Amino acid sequence: MSDENTAIRGMIFNKITLDFPEKNELLFRKKYFSDSIIQFRIAFLLVTVLYAVFGYLDSRIVPEYANLFQIIRYYVVVPILSVVLLLSFTDFFLKIWQVLLFISFIVAGVGISIMTMLVPENYSYYAGLMLIFSAGYFFIKLRFFLATIAGWTTLIIFNLGVIIYAHTSGEIILSNNFFFASANLIGMFAAYNIEYYARRDFYLNQELDKQMVAVEEINKNLEVKVVERTIELVDAKNKAEQSDRLKSAFLANMSHEIRTPMNAILGFAYFLGDAEDDAERNECIELIVGNGKHLLSLIDDIIDISKVEAGVLELNHTEFILNDLMQEILKLFLVDQNVKSKELKLLCVNALGSTESKIISDRKRIKQILINLVNNACKFTDTGSVEFGYKIDQKSLLFYVKDTGHGISTDQQKYIFERFMQGALDSTPNLEGSGLGLAISKSLVKLFGGNIWVESEIGKGSVFCFTLPFNQSTESIINLNQKV
């Protein structure tokens, strides 16, 4: 109930004419017309018939005026009402019906007024005008404002006629006026209320429709949200299950990875004790150092991935010359076992000159990513070349590592950046790796705010790319460029 009251308070309308603001008024009038048309036709038919039937009384009550009264009834009022009734079956009636009803009210009222004027003391005609007032206000569906004007206009015309033609006493005229004016007042107030409630219903229905649309919209959104959430949950569940599987695989793989160099270290340590000459001793030491280094890098990877998982890995920005870093990596791999044994061509391509390439960024982490990628490229390329370098790409530095190696299948490309993948990929040839390099690289690139991806074709080779956006490092490049 209180909701209804709150809604009604929002109803805007003209307090005198009851009109709504423009667009709503048009809608209301359409609705009022369709709700009223049947009642209007019945009312008009009845009023017209009664108007005609009452002609019977004329010749009996006032034979001296019967002719004139019948002309009024049968040549003016009844034909006009009949035409209006017929017009109600046309399409354009909607546009003109209220004006026609207004005219009909006045015509019928003035008709009886003339009769009352001529025989003012005759109660039959006085009663007839009262009937016209009640029909005009309550029956024919003329709207309040027009009915009021028509009602009072009729009364004014009656009074003008009475003043000009009356042959009767002022008391009768006064008493008639009392009743006619009262009928108009009662009609006005009742018609006002009837129309107000019709408008109120219309407005409340409109509000209800709006709310229903809003509720439907909310329902639709809810459904979409439920579907989205369900998909998210299924995704999360799948990821959790996959992550669980991958972690188990990773642990199994790691144990194996750690045991291999550990066994080698222990084994060669025993051999060292039994070594017969320096050459044998040196060989043992070399193997112990090599396996120790491998073990150390494995442990470094595990620490890095653990830090990434825990979200505690932070970048440490310093100023450095990027080209120097690239050169360092080139030198490192020129003596790499894979490059030397397979006689790979190693190329480093820099987009900027040495001084221009001064940047502020995390040197250690860029180096780590590049070493991971170049190392993989050398590891998985049997013949041909490995090229790495960087370009300036709009708002980021684009690094790439290109090889002419095995290539990676489209299926595998989807997983290689995932953590602990190597152990889970049966097809991956075990070429000494933790399976963490790409996962760590991806996490680091993300930490920089960049992207990493691979384009590859089996048998032709692969290109690994990653971007480092300008907001950190390259703005500094620009600044430093300006200094140069």
Point out which residues bind ligand ADP (CB under 6 A).
372, 376-377, 380, 403, 405-406, 408, 416, 421-422, 428, 433-439, 462
Give the nearer residue to ligand ADP in terms of CB position, either 288 or 439.
Answer: 439
Report d(CA 484, CA 479) in Å as an integer. Answer: 9
C-alpha distances in angstroms, 240 versus 243, 247, 433, 443?
5, 10, 24, 18
Give the nearer residue to ligand ADP in terms of CB position, either 357 or 375.
Answer: 375
Q: Using alpha carbons, select from 434, 437, 438, 444 the residue that is nearest to residue 468.
A: 444
Q: In this structure, which amino acid lies at residue 380?
A: F
Give the nearer residue to ligand ADP in terms of CB position, either 63 or 459.
Answer: 459
Contact indicator for 133, 187 with CB cutoff of 8 Å: yes
Q: Using alpha carbons, select from 42, 38, 41, 14 the residue that is nearest to residue 28.
A: 14
CB of 238 to ligand ADP, least distance (A): 21
Give the nearer residue to ligand ADP in terms of CB position, either 82 or 338.
Answer: 338
CB of 458 to ligand ADP, least distance (A): 9
In DSSP terms, 456 is beta-bridged to 462
Tokens of 22: 């423009």
Give the nearer residue to ligand ADP in terms of CB position, either 268 or 388.
Answer: 388
Report d(CA 440, CA 402) in Å as an integer. Answer: 19
Report d(CA 249, CA 89) in Å as an integer. Answer: 84
Handedness of CA 334, 337, 343, 347 (dihedral sign): negative
Tokens of 236: 């999360």
CB of 412 to ligand ADP, least distance (A): 7
CB of 429 to ligand ADP, least distance (A): 7
Tokens of 33: 């017309």
Q: For residue 478, what is the enclosing H or E element?
A: helix 473-483
CB of 439 to ligand ADP, least distance (A): 6
Give the nearer residue to ligand ADP in terms of CB position, either 194 or 447.
Answer: 447
CB of 405 to ligand ADP, least distance (A): 5
Residue nearest to ligand ADP (CB): 433
Q: Helix, strand or coil for residue 347? A: strand
CB of 436 to ligand ADP, least distance (A): 6
Q: For the beta carbon of residue 363, count every other beta carbon within 10 angstroms.
A: 19
CB of 479 to ligand ADP, least distance (A): 34
Give the nearer residue to ligand ADP in terms of CB position, either 242 or 471.
Answer: 242
Give the nearer residue to ligand ADP in terms of CB position, either 98 or 376.
Answer: 376
Q: How far apart are the first and last CA of the chain?
A: 77
